[in-house]
Amino acid sequence: MTDFTNQTVLVTGSSRGIGLAIAKAFDAAGAQLILHARSEIKPEVLAEFKQKPQTLQFDIADAEAAEASIKALYKQEGFEGIDVLVNNAGITKDQLAMAMAPADFANVVNVNLNGTFNVTQPIFKKMIRQKHGAIINLSSVVGLMGNMGQINYAASKAGIIGFTKSLAKEGARRGIRVNAIAPGMIVSDMTAVLPEETQAEILKNIPLSRFGEASEVADVALFLASNTYITGQTLTVDGGLYI
């Protein structure tokens, strides 16, 4: 396993699901974790970590709140900076295009895409000064191939891919690597609510004939954080859905 001892890792949206799995993987690899959520993280979740993580609580869509929280973090005595940032936080509000409320389109893009920028910019500035760092953005295969009923989500996740490529070019000369992960159908609260017939139909299009596990996305996050010659890339974790 890659050793992240003495490295500080911030994972947004890490109170459950893929974000929590990624945080646990870094914890197992020895990293000092900073967990983030919009609401307070439950004590029983924090108890699952080997090393007691620090927590941040703010809405990533609120640029001022994000900047203030991150600035306060860097002002803490003894804080040496963030080595790895994982932008995982995001939302869905699915609806067919003809029935989608403009507010629902704007809200999903604001949280998923603008929110990623709001968290990344103040940390990227610090990484530029420290001349190292890894940023991993969670996109989706939906951002690559589209999906009915998800024009807002698809737009936001496609935007993250462009965001990743552009930021990778800006950060490369300072030793900052920026990559994205595009998960497919992963076992989660989101997929659990899908009707059985819908799940069966989706499985027909997945060559590996199963949904992925959050831990399999986490493995890729550790790989991208540790490999020092990959940047600007989007790795799909989808069982072959986007072949």
| Mode of pairing for the β-strands spanning 32-37 and 176-183 | unpaired
Quick one: pLDDT at residue 188? 84
Sketch the domain layout of the chain as residue ranges: 8-234
Question: Which three-class secondary structure state does DSSP give residue 37?
Answer: strand
For residue 119, what are its two tokens? 């968290």
In the chain, the amino acid numbered 154 is A
* 38-65 pLDDT tens trace: 999 999 999 999 999 999 999 999 999 9
> Alpha-carbon distance 25 to 36, whole Å?
15
153 is catalytic: yes
Radius of gyration of the chain (CA): 17
> Alpha-carbon distance 149 to 103, whole Å?
15
Residue of 212, 226, 150 whose CA lies nearest to 182: 212
For residue 100, what are its two tokens? 């989608």
Task: Give yes or no for a contact between 94 and 149, defined as CB atoms under 8 angstroms apart.
Answer: yes
Quick one: pLDDT at residue 152? 98
Residue 198 vs residue 132, higher pLDDT:
132
Residue of 24, 118, 38, 131 whose CA lies nearest to 81: 131
> What percent of the chain has a predicted confidence (pLDDT) above 90?
94
Task: Give yes or no for a contact between 40 and 57, defined as CB atoms under 8 angstroms apart.
Answer: yes
For residue 138, what are its two tokens? 């969670």
Residue of 33, 215, 84, 242 whose CA lies nearest to 158: 242
Strands of the sheet containing 234-237, edge to edge, are 54-57, 32-37, 8-11, 84-87, 133-138, 176-183, 234-237
* 77-90 pLDDT tens trace: 999 999 999 999 99
* CATH class name, domain 8-234: alpha beta
Task: Give yes or no for a contact between 15 and 44, defined as CB atoms under 8 angstroms apart.
Answer: no
What mean pLDDT comes out for the span 85-99? 97
Question: Which three-class secondary structure state does DSSP give residue 181?
Answer: strand
Handedness of CA 73, 170, 158, 4 (dihedral sign): negative
> Alpha-carbon distance 243 to 240, whole Å?
5
